[in-house]
Amino acid sequence: MTSKQSIKILLVDDDPSILEILYELVTIFGYGCETAKNGMEALDKLKQDVYHIVLTDMIMPGMSGMDLLIHISSHYPQIKVMVLTGYDRSFTYTDVIQAGASDFISKPFNSDELEAKISRLVREIELMHQLELLSISDGLTGLYNRRHFDIKIIEEARRADRQNHDLFLAVIDVDNLKEMNDRHGHLEGDKVLKLVGRIIKHGIRENVDWPFRYGGDEFCVIITQVSQDQALMTAERILQSYNEKKPPLTGLSIGLARFIRSNDKDWAADIDDLVKRADIALYKAKQTGRNRIVIDRENDKTRDE
Protein backbone atom coordinates (compact mmCIF):
# COMPACT_ATOMS: atom_id res chain seq x y z
CA MET A 1 0.00 0.00 0.00
CA THR A 2 1.11 3.59 -0.66
CA SER A 3 2.38 5.39 2.46
CA LYS A 4 1.18 8.91 3.21
CA GLN A 5 4.75 10.17 3.08
CA SER A 6 5.11 8.96 -0.50
CA ILE A 7 2.09 10.99 -1.66
CA LYS A 8 2.98 14.49 -2.82
CA ILE A 9 0.35 17.23 -3.12
CA LEU A 10 0.66 20.59 -4.90
CA LEU A 11 -1.50 23.36 -3.39
CA VAL A 12 -2.37 26.28 -5.69
CA ASP A 13 -4.10 29.48 -4.50
CA ASP A 14 -3.48 33.21 -4.99
CA ASP A 15 -4.67 33.98 -1.43
CA PRO A 16 -1.64 33.63 0.91
CA SER A 17 -3.83 33.05 3.99
CA ILE A 18 -5.77 30.22 2.33
CA LEU A 19 -2.55 28.72 1.01
CA GLU A 20 -1.04 28.77 4.52
CA ILE A 21 -4.10 27.09 6.04
CA LEU A 22 -4.11 24.42 3.33
CA TYR A 23 -0.39 23.76 3.83
CA GLU A 24 -0.80 23.37 7.60
CA LEU A 25 -3.79 21.04 7.25
CA VAL A 26 -2.29 18.81 4.56
CA THR A 27 0.92 18.56 6.59
CA ILE A 28 -1.09 17.59 9.68
CA PHE A 29 -2.88 14.95 7.59
CA GLY A 30 0.57 13.43 7.02
CA TYR A 31 1.12 14.14 3.32
CA GLY A 32 4.06 15.82 1.65
CA CYS A 33 3.09 19.07 -0.04
CA GLU A 34 4.34 22.18 -1.81
CA THR A 35 2.63 25.43 -2.72
CA ALA A 36 2.22 27.64 -5.77
CA LYS A 37 0.64 31.10 -5.68
CA ASN A 38 -0.76 30.98 -9.23
CA GLY A 39 -1.32 28.72 -12.21
CA MET A 40 1.92 29.57 -14.01
CA GLU A 41 4.02 28.82 -10.94
CA ALA A 42 2.14 25.53 -10.62
CA LEU A 43 3.05 24.62 -14.22
CA ASP A 44 6.73 25.28 -13.48
CA LYS A 45 6.59 22.99 -10.42
CA LEU A 46 4.82 20.26 -12.36
CA LYS A 47 7.72 20.24 -14.83
CA GLN A 48 10.31 19.95 -12.07
CA ASP A 49 8.79 17.35 -9.74
CA VAL A 50 6.31 14.49 -9.51
CA TYR A 51 2.97 15.13 -7.82
CA HIS A 52 0.08 12.78 -7.18
CA ILE A 53 -2.63 15.32 -6.35
CA VAL A 54 -3.14 19.00 -7.22
CA LEU A 55 -5.54 21.04 -5.09
CA THR A 56 -6.23 24.29 -6.90
CA ASP A 57 -8.38 27.39 -6.46
CA MET A 58 -10.51 28.18 -9.49
CA ILE A 59 -10.54 31.99 -9.50
CA MET A 60 -6.96 33.22 -9.91
CA PRO A 61 -5.42 36.08 -11.92
CA GLY A 62 -3.62 35.18 -15.14
CA MET A 63 -4.14 31.47 -15.46
CA SER A 64 -7.43 30.33 -13.92
CA GLY A 65 -7.91 27.09 -12.06
CA MET A 66 -9.99 25.82 -14.97
CA ASP A 67 -7.13 26.48 -17.41
CA LEU A 68 -4.72 24.74 -15.04
CA LEU A 69 -7.12 21.79 -14.70
CA ILE A 70 -7.44 21.43 -18.47
CA HIS A 71 -3.64 21.57 -18.88
CA ILE A 72 -3.07 18.92 -16.19
CA SER A 73 -5.77 16.66 -17.67
CA SER A 74 -4.06 16.90 -21.06
CA HIS A 75 -0.38 16.69 -20.05
CA TYR A 76 -0.43 14.85 -16.69
CA PRO A 77 -3.48 12.54 -16.84
CA GLN A 78 -2.17 10.43 -13.95
CA ILE A 79 -2.47 13.38 -11.52
CA LYS A 80 -5.66 13.68 -9.47
CA VAL A 81 -7.03 17.24 -9.36
CA MET A 82 -9.37 18.60 -6.69
CA VAL A 83 -10.73 22.11 -7.26
CA LEU A 84 -11.46 24.66 -4.56
CA THR A 85 -13.85 27.56 -5.03
CA GLY A 86 -16.11 30.00 -3.14
CA TYR A 87 -19.88 30.17 -2.96
CA ASP A 88 -19.86 32.74 -5.77
CA ARG A 89 -18.28 30.14 -8.03
CA SER A 90 -18.35 30.67 -11.76
CA PHE A 91 -17.98 26.97 -12.49
CA THR A 92 -20.42 24.21 -11.61
CA TYR A 93 -19.56 20.77 -10.29
CA THR A 94 -20.44 19.35 -13.71
CA ASP A 95 -18.09 21.83 -15.42
CA VAL A 96 -15.02 20.82 -13.44
CA ILE A 97 -15.72 17.08 -13.52
CA GLN A 98 -16.16 17.20 -17.29
CA ALA A 99 -12.87 19.12 -17.54
CA GLY A 100 -11.09 16.30 -15.73
CA ALA A 101 -11.30 17.10 -12.00
CA SER A 102 -11.48 14.18 -9.58
CA ASP A 103 -13.31 16.09 -6.86
CA PHE A 104 -14.64 19.48 -5.76
CA ILE A 105 -14.65 21.33 -2.42
CA SER A 106 -16.18 24.71 -1.51
CA LYS A 107 -14.82 27.58 0.58
CA PRO A 108 -15.03 27.89 3.51
CA PHE A 109 -14.03 24.23 3.75
CA ASN A 110 -14.22 21.88 6.68
CA SER A 111 -10.93 20.16 7.60
CA ASP A 112 -12.64 16.79 8.10
CA GLU A 113 -14.23 17.01 4.68
CA LEU A 114 -10.91 17.99 3.10
CA GLU A 115 -9.10 15.09 4.75
CA ALA A 116 -11.82 12.65 3.69
CA LYS A 117 -11.73 13.81 0.07
CA ILE A 118 -7.92 13.62 -0.09
CA SER A 119 -8.03 10.14 1.49
CA ARG A 120 -10.46 9.00 -1.20
CA LEU A 121 -8.13 10.23 -3.96
CA VAL A 122 -5.19 8.46 -2.30
CA ARG A 123 -7.18 5.20 -2.25
CA GLU A 124 -7.85 5.63 -5.96
CA ILE A 125 -4.14 6.17 -6.58
CA GLU A 126 -3.33 3.01 -4.59
CA LEU A 127 -5.86 0.99 -6.56
CA MET A 128 -4.52 2.24 -9.90
CA HIS A 129 -0.98 1.40 -8.79
CA GLN A 130 -2.03 -2.13 -7.84
CA LEU A 131 -3.82 -2.62 -11.16
CA GLU A 132 -0.76 -1.36 -13.03
CA LEU A 133 1.47 -3.80 -11.16
CA LEU A 134 -0.90 -6.66 -11.98
CA SER A 135 -0.81 -5.77 -15.67
CA ILE A 136 3.01 -5.94 -15.82
CA SER A 137 3.63 -8.81 -13.38
CA ASP A 138 3.77 -12.58 -13.71
CA GLY A 139 1.15 -14.08 -11.41
CA LEU A 140 3.17 -17.16 -10.44
CA THR A 141 6.61 -15.71 -9.66
CA GLY A 142 5.88 -12.05 -8.96
CA LEU A 143 8.53 -10.98 -11.45
CA TYR A 144 7.75 -8.64 -14.32
CA ASN A 145 6.17 -10.26 -17.36
CA ARG A 146 7.16 -10.47 -21.03
CA ARG A 147 4.95 -7.51 -21.89
CA HIS A 148 6.89 -5.28 -19.51
CA PHE A 149 10.21 -6.65 -20.75
CA ASP A 150 9.44 -5.38 -24.26
CA ILE A 151 8.94 -1.88 -22.82
CA LYS A 152 11.77 -1.89 -20.28
CA ILE A 153 14.50 -3.20 -22.56
CA ILE A 154 14.00 -0.26 -24.93
CA GLU A 155 14.06 2.23 -22.05
CA GLU A 156 17.22 0.77 -20.55
CA ALA A 157 19.02 0.36 -23.88
CA ARG A 158 18.39 4.02 -24.72
CA ARG A 159 19.51 5.10 -21.25
CA ALA A 160 22.69 3.01 -21.51
CA ASP A 161 23.53 4.56 -24.88
CA ARG A 162 22.75 8.08 -23.67
CA GLN A 163 24.78 7.74 -20.47
CA ASN A 164 27.54 5.71 -22.13
CA HIS A 165 27.44 2.70 -19.84
CA ASP A 166 27.14 -1.02 -20.57
CA LEU A 167 23.94 -3.03 -20.36
CA PHE A 168 23.77 -6.82 -20.22
CA LEU A 169 20.97 -9.31 -20.71
CA ALA A 170 21.03 -12.61 -18.82
CA VAL A 171 18.65 -15.25 -20.20
CA ILE A 172 18.00 -18.03 -17.67
CA ASP A 173 16.40 -21.40 -18.36
CA VAL A 174 15.45 -24.08 -15.82
CA ASP A 175 17.12 -27.35 -16.81
CA ASN A 176 14.97 -30.48 -16.97
CA LEU A 177 11.76 -28.80 -15.81
CA LYS A 178 9.68 -30.97 -18.14
CA GLU A 179 11.17 -34.09 -16.57
CA MET A 180 10.41 -32.65 -13.13
CA ASN A 181 6.79 -32.02 -14.17
CA ASP A 182 6.45 -35.51 -15.68
CA ARG A 183 7.80 -37.25 -12.58
CA HIS A 184 6.37 -35.12 -9.78
CA GLY A 185 3.52 -33.10 -11.29
CA HIS A 186 3.11 -29.50 -12.34
CA LEU A 187 2.60 -28.26 -8.79
CA GLU A 188 6.18 -29.26 -7.99
CA GLY A 189 7.29 -27.62 -11.21
CA ASP A 190 5.53 -24.42 -10.17
CA LYS A 191 7.41 -24.53 -6.86
CA VAL A 192 10.66 -24.62 -8.81
CA LEU A 193 9.62 -21.59 -10.88
CA LYS A 194 8.68 -19.68 -7.72
CA LEU A 195 12.05 -20.58 -6.19
CA VAL A 196 13.87 -19.26 -9.27
CA GLY A 197 11.87 -16.05 -9.06
CA ARG A 198 12.82 -15.51 -5.40
CA ILE A 199 16.49 -16.26 -6.06
CA ILE A 200 16.63 -13.85 -8.99
CA LYS A 201 15.00 -11.08 -6.92
CA HIS A 202 17.48 -11.54 -4.08
CA GLY A 203 20.46 -11.78 -6.43
CA ILE A 204 20.08 -8.42 -8.18
CA ARG A 205 19.99 -4.73 -7.29
CA GLU A 206 16.47 -3.50 -6.63
CA ASN A 207 15.29 -0.79 -9.05
CA VAL A 208 18.65 -0.95 -10.89
CA ASP A 209 18.46 -4.41 -12.47
CA TRP A 210 15.16 -5.71 -13.82
CA PRO A 211 13.91 -9.33 -13.47
CA PHE A 212 11.36 -10.97 -15.78
CA ARG A 213 9.67 -14.27 -16.36
CA TYR A 214 10.14 -14.38 -20.09
CA GLY A 215 7.82 -17.32 -20.63
CA GLY A 216 7.41 -20.95 -19.53
CA ASP A 217 10.61 -22.02 -17.78
CA GLU A 218 12.66 -19.09 -19.11
CA PHE A 219 13.60 -15.97 -17.18
CA CYS A 220 15.77 -12.97 -17.96
CA VAL A 221 17.44 -10.08 -16.16
CA ILE A 222 18.40 -6.69 -17.56
CA ILE A 223 21.65 -5.81 -15.77
CA THR A 224 22.53 -2.12 -16.01
CA GLN A 225 25.57 0.10 -15.40
CA VAL A 226 28.07 -2.74 -14.96
CA SER A 227 31.22 -4.16 -16.51
CA GLN A 228 31.22 -7.63 -18.03
CA ASP A 229 32.90 -9.00 -14.89
CA GLN A 230 30.21 -7.46 -12.69
CA ALA A 231 27.43 -8.81 -14.91
CA LEU A 232 29.05 -12.25 -14.74
CA MET A 233 29.20 -11.97 -10.93
CA THR A 234 25.44 -11.31 -10.87
CA ALA A 235 24.78 -14.41 -13.00
CA GLU A 236 27.14 -16.48 -10.83
CA ARG A 237 25.39 -15.30 -7.68
CA ILE A 238 22.02 -16.42 -9.06
CA LEU A 239 23.42 -19.80 -10.17
CA GLN A 240 25.20 -20.43 -6.87
CA SER A 241 22.11 -19.55 -4.83
CA TYR A 242 19.99 -21.91 -6.91
CA ASN A 243 22.50 -24.75 -6.59
CA GLU A 244 22.36 -24.41 -2.81
CA LYS A 245 18.60 -25.02 -2.80
CA LYS A 246 17.74 -26.70 -6.09
CA PRO A 247 15.40 -29.68 -6.27
CA PRO A 248 16.75 -32.91 -7.81
CA LEU A 249 17.05 -33.15 -11.60
CA THR A 250 17.06 -29.39 -12.13
CA GLY A 251 19.65 -26.68 -12.72
CA LEU A 252 19.97 -23.28 -14.35
CA SER A 253 21.55 -22.59 -17.72
CA ILE A 254 22.38 -18.92 -18.28
CA GLY A 255 23.35 -17.01 -21.42
CA LEU A 256 24.85 -13.54 -21.00
CA ALA A 257 25.20 -10.89 -23.71
CA ARG A 258 26.07 -7.18 -23.86
CA PHE A 259 23.91 -4.66 -25.70
CA ILE A 260 25.71 -3.33 -28.80
CA ARG A 261 24.44 -0.15 -30.45
CA SER A 262 25.09 -0.18 -34.19
CA ASN A 263 25.24 2.82 -36.49
CA ASP A 264 23.29 1.28 -39.36
CA LYS A 265 20.34 -0.38 -37.54
CA ASP A 266 17.34 0.90 -35.64
CA TRP A 267 16.79 0.29 -31.93
CA ALA A 268 14.44 -2.65 -32.45
CA ALA A 269 17.03 -4.46 -34.60
CA ASP A 270 19.77 -3.93 -32.01
CA ILE A 271 17.53 -5.22 -29.22
CA ASP A 272 16.56 -8.26 -31.31
CA ASP A 273 20.26 -8.86 -31.84
CA LEU A 274 20.89 -8.68 -28.08
CA VAL A 275 18.15 -11.19 -27.31
CA LYS A 276 19.35 -13.50 -30.10
CA ARG A 277 22.94 -13.48 -28.86
CA ALA A 278 21.85 -14.13 -25.26
CA ASP A 279 19.68 -17.03 -26.50
CA ILE A 280 22.60 -18.50 -28.47
CA ALA A 281 24.80 -18.29 -25.37
CA LEU A 282 22.05 -20.02 -23.37
CA TYR A 283 21.83 -22.77 -25.99
CA LYS A 284 25.61 -23.29 -25.73
CA ALA A 285 25.27 -23.58 -21.95
CA LYS A 286 22.69 -26.32 -22.53
CA GLN A 287 24.89 -28.06 -25.11
CA THR A 288 27.99 -28.07 -22.92
CA GLY A 289 26.48 -29.71 -19.87
CA ARG A 290 23.76 -27.40 -18.47
CA ASN A 291 23.70 -25.67 -15.08
CA ARG A 292 26.35 -23.19 -16.18
CA ILE A 293 26.91 -19.72 -17.62
CA VAL A 294 28.07 -18.94 -21.15
CA ILE A 295 29.02 -15.41 -22.23
CA ASP A 296 28.34 -14.26 -25.78
CA ARG A 297 31.74 -13.78 -27.42
CA GLU A 298 30.52 -10.98 -29.71
CA ASN A 299 31.27 -8.81 -26.69
CA ASP A 300 34.95 -9.59 -26.98
CA LYS A 301 35.03 -9.08 -30.78
CA THR A 302 33.39 -5.68 -30.45
CA ARG A 303 35.76 -4.56 -27.71
CA ASP A 304 38.78 -5.55 -29.83
CA GLU A 305 37.65 -3.56 -32.86
Q: For residues 178 and 242, give the distance between their C-alpha atoms in angstroms, rounded to a whole number.
A: 18
Walk me through the domains of the chain, giving residue ranges and CATH numbers. Answer: 4-134 (3.40.50.2300), 146-304 (3.30.70.270)
Q: What digits encode the pLDDT tens for the residues 148-199? A: 999 999 999 999 999 999 999 999 999 999 998 889 899 999 999 999 999 9
The pLDDT, as a whole number, for residue 90 is 66
Residue 279 above 90 pLDDT?
yes
Average pLDDT over residues 256-281: 95
Q: 234 and 124 in contact (C-beta within 8 Å)?
A: no
Q: For residues 237 and 59, give the distance between their C-alpha atoms in angstroms, rounded to a whole number.
A: 59
Say if residue 37 is exposed, middle or buried (CB neighbours under 10 Å; 0-12, 13-18, 19+). middle
Catalytic residue among 13, 103, 217, 279: 217
The pLDDT, as a whole number, for residue 134 is 84
- Half-sphere exposure (Cβ direction) of 213: Cα atoms closer than 13 Å: 22
Q: For residues 159 and 18, give the distance between their C-alpha atoms in angstroms, rounded to a whole number.
A: 43
Q: What digits encode the pLDDT tens for the residues 34-44? A: 999 999 999 99
- DSSP labels for 166-182? -EEEEEEEEETHHHHHH
Q: For residues 138 and 164, give the distance between their C-alpha atoms in angstroms, rounded to a whole number.
A: 31
Confidence grade of residue 261 (pLDDT, cut at 50, 70, 90):
very high
Confidence grade of residue 98 (pLDDT, cut at 50, 70, 90):
confident
The pLDDT, as a whole number, for residue 221 is 98
Helix, strand, coil percentages, rounded to 5, for the chain: 55, 20, 30
Average pLDDT over residues 111-117: 94
- For 205, other C-beta atoms within 10 Å of its C-beta total 12
Higher pLDDT, 292 or 98: 292
CA dist 301 → 296, 297, 304 (Å): 10, 7, 5
pTM: 0.69
Residue 298 above 90 pLDDT?
no
Residue 304 above 50 pLDDT?
no
CA dist 217 → 13, 59, 186, 198 (Å): 55, 59, 12, 14
Buried b or exposed e, range 65-80, using 16+ CB within 10 angstroms: bbbbbebbeeeeeebb
The pLDDT, as a whole number, for residue 264 is 87
CA dist 19 → 22, 100, 243, 257 (Å): 5, 23, 60, 54
Mean confidence (pLDDT) of the chain: 91
Q: What digits encode the pLDDT tens for the residues 204-239? A: 999 899 999 998 899 999 999 999 999 999 999 999
- Asked about 217 being catalytic, the answer comes back as yes
DSSP letter at 30? T
Question: Order of strands across the sheet with 218-224?
Answer: 210-215, 218-224, 167-175, 251-258, 293-295
Say if residue 146 is exposed, middle or buried (CB neighbours under 10 Å; 0-12, 13-18, 19+). middle
